[in-house]
Amino acid sequence: MNTYDLLVVGSANADLVVGVDRRPAAGETVLGSDLVVHPGGKGANQAVAAARLGARTALLARVGDDGHGRLLRDSMESAGVDTSGVLVGGAPTGVALITVDPSGDNSIVVSPGANGRLTPDDVRAAGGLFAGAKVVSVMLEIPLESVAEVARSVADGARLVLNPSPPAPLPDEVLAACDPLIVNEHEARVVLGAEPDGEPEDWARDLLALGPRSVVITLGSEGALVADASGARRVASVRVKAVDTTGAGDAFTAALAWRLGTGESLADAAAYAARVGAAAVTKEGAQASYPTADEVASL
């Protein structure tokens, strides 16, 4: 009996957001709106998204012993995430400093903080979490050496889902463990080390040649493409009126990972994840926008 449907290993940040009429030039000061602080980070976002859908979810992450760390733990616990794997200390909680102009364009500076202190030893010490998880999801907002240790720690019979964001070249052992590797066009370019040629089906073929057991390529308004050794298939997008796309990719990844753990095919899991991502963009914010299973069903 698995304890968790999904174990997320990754980042937890406080998003500090200020609206500005225009972003300042070098050496310039501009006035902004009142500061708004949101719980964020791709790891925490995925964990909350899955838990709100009803998945038994745990997070392995590191936060600081500070107010931002408490904000993040409170947000995850209120969503039903098991935070026993959220380690405290080593550095201040990671922070994303975000300015947003009237058009919605943003500029972001990320201070990794405690995220950068999630070590391979921390991963090895969390063996009980890995042993109890059907699916493990990881991203690149933690050290790459820790991501490699996650790939080595996935239990027999479980599967590893990786979204390489922010993108970076990946070791062969990590690529070989991915089932699936989830990328957008920019991330595909970095993983491949070259501009993708041809159509997304061609990108998928080239990515599979690097070692992943399966690949999902997100295509924005055009939906997604899923591919494995049996071939490639397109998954349609869901048409909604978008209000805020923040964190929608994390909701997609979390939903897909959870549904794979229930035994759904890659195409069916991606189709469900597309509906979750569509529901998420109809509300403002990241974690605050994530839907319940009932809300997805009614979309």
pLDDT tens-place string over residues 191-237: 999 887 889 999 999 999 999 999 999 998 888 999 999 999 999 98
Closest CA to 286 of 37, 40, 101, 8: 40
d(CA 217, CA 253): 11
Bin 53: left if φ > 0, else alpha if -120 < ψ < 50, else beta.
alpha
| pTM > 0.85 | yes
Domains of the chain: 4-21+33-297 (3.40.1190.20)
Which pLDDT belongs to residue 102?
Answer: 83
Condensed to tens digits (0 to 9), the pLDDT of residues 115-161 reads: 999 999 999 999 999 999 999 999 999 999 999 999 999 999 999 99
Percentage of residues of the chain with pLDDT beyond 90: 76
DSSP code of residue 32: B
What's the confidence (pLDDT) of residue 195?
A: 83
Provide the annotated active-site residues: 250
pLDDT at position 101, please? 82
pLDDT digits over 262-286, tens only?
999 999 999 999 999 988 888 877 8
**pLDDT score of 104:** 66
- Asked whether residue 45 carries a pLDDT value surpassing 90, the answer given is yes
pLDDT score, position 283? 82
Distance CA 110, CA 102 (A): 21
pLDDT digits (tens, 9 = 90+) for 26-42: 999 999 999 999 999 99
Per-residue pLDDT reduced to its tens digit, 237-263: 888 887 777 788 999 999 999 999 999
At 1 the pLDDT is 61
Sheet order of strands, 94-100 included: 36-40, 13-19, 94-100, 106-111
DSSP state at residue 261: H
